Amino acid sequence: MTILLPHVEVETQPNPDASIIWLHGLGADGHDFEPIVTQLDLPKNAAIRFIFPHAPSLPVTINNGMVMPAWYDILEISIERKVDQVQLKKSVDAIIDFIHHEIERGINSDRIIIVGFSQGGAVAFETALAFPQKLAGLLALSTYFATKDTITYHPANQNLPIAIHHGEYDPIVPFRLATDSSELLAVNGYSVELKSYPMEHSVCRQQIAEIRQWFIDVLSIK
């Protein structure tokens, strides 16, 4: 029996027919984005299970080895961010366990959306683009494509709806990394929607409204 990471679950209605697995950023936990379920104000007929996993606690090199919730270690402060690829892949495997668990609970894989903010977004990129069954969508928030040089893309998700959102004034993950990710995916034949917002490393109200509509469109909620 697979043991899932500790996590928070919120269902918008009984008997959900779709799942959204949402990964937090460095130093946060699954509760960080839990309030967004209410803020999205989804239609009454949207029966969605939101899953917010808690990352394990790890020493983080760029934070002087301080132990904190992290999907992987960040080894040096640089634009391209040198990361611990082994730990990142271990986190990817943990999220794949959630996907399989949702399938076992009766959710079709093409009704599962992967969302990640910042460090969680790097895990989300690898998880969704390499997953061997069709997913519903990938939403990458204020993040970067840490495994762009090592990923093995799977054709099952070649037509995956992908949205990248990023703050124009982000001092932590520069906006250029969002455009780099978008351009790289386009070169590899993916259709990507890139949206920028006048904010730093965060989520804003306008963005939440657009995330709401994206979920509705991707899941074909009438």
Q: Which residues are known to be catalytic?
A: 118, 170, 201
d(CA 48, CA 220): 12
Report residue 123 as tokens: 């895990």
The SS3 of residue 153 is: coil
In terms of Cβ atoms closer than 10 Å to its own Cβ (0-12, 13-18, 19+), residue 15 is exposed
d(CA 31, CA 23): 10
The per-type count for the chain, helices as H runs and strands as E runs, is: 5, 11
**Cα-to-chain-centroid distance, residue 217:** 18
